[in-house]
Each structure stands twice: as structure tokens, then as C-alpha cells.
Amino acid sequence: MANHPSAEKRNRQRIESTNRNRAVKSAVRTAVKKARTAIAGGDSKKAADPVKAASQALARAASKGIIPARSASRVTARIEAALAKSARPAS
């Protein structure tokens, strides 16, 4: 339990930022899941918008420090590579 006013304030800040970060992480996971589902659907033109939204959400979360920048870059690269692969004609 916090015994000083500054410690009490820090605890309040921790709770607020945890809730904010949790909401952003959840939104990012949802966007990535929608992008992967759209890619799996097969139509690369329809999948382009969810992939763009997911990459923007990842970049935003990384810039705020909510997720590591390298993790955001890696996930973005993987979903964009999957989109490019689905857009190629099957040979």
C-alpha cells in the first residue's frame, strides 16, 4: 500500500496507463486478426484495407511504446508478405 502522496499518485497513473495500454493492445490484436482472416479469405483486393489498418494500428502502438517497435515491424512484414503471396497467381 502506498504511504506517500507521490506513491499514491504513481499508483493511480499506473492503473490508468495499464487500462489504456490494454485497450490499445486489444485493438491491435483485433486488427491483425481481421487482416489475417481477410487474407485467408482469398480476395487480395478486399484484404488490402484490413492489412493497411492493421499496419497503422501496429505502428501507432509501437510509437507510443505499448508494444516493441521490432515486434510491430515483424508482424507488419508478415501480414504484408502474406497479402503479397495471396495476390500472386497460382502457378
pLDDT surpassing 80 at residue 28: yes
Q: Where residue 10 falls among pLDDT bands split at 50, 70, 90?
A: very high
What b-and-e string marks burial along 1-32, b requiring 16 or more CB atoms within 10 Å of the CB?
eeeeeeeeeeeeeeeeeeeeeeebeeebeebb
Distance CA 23, CA 41 (A): 27
- Total domain count for the chain? 1
Q: What is the residue range of 11's domain?
A: 5-87
- The CATH number given to whatever domain includes residue 62 is 1.20.58.110
**What would the pLDDT profile of 57-90 be if each residue is shown by its tens digit?**
999 999 999 999 999 999 999 999 999 998 777 6
What's this model's pTM, rounded to 2 decimal places?
0.85
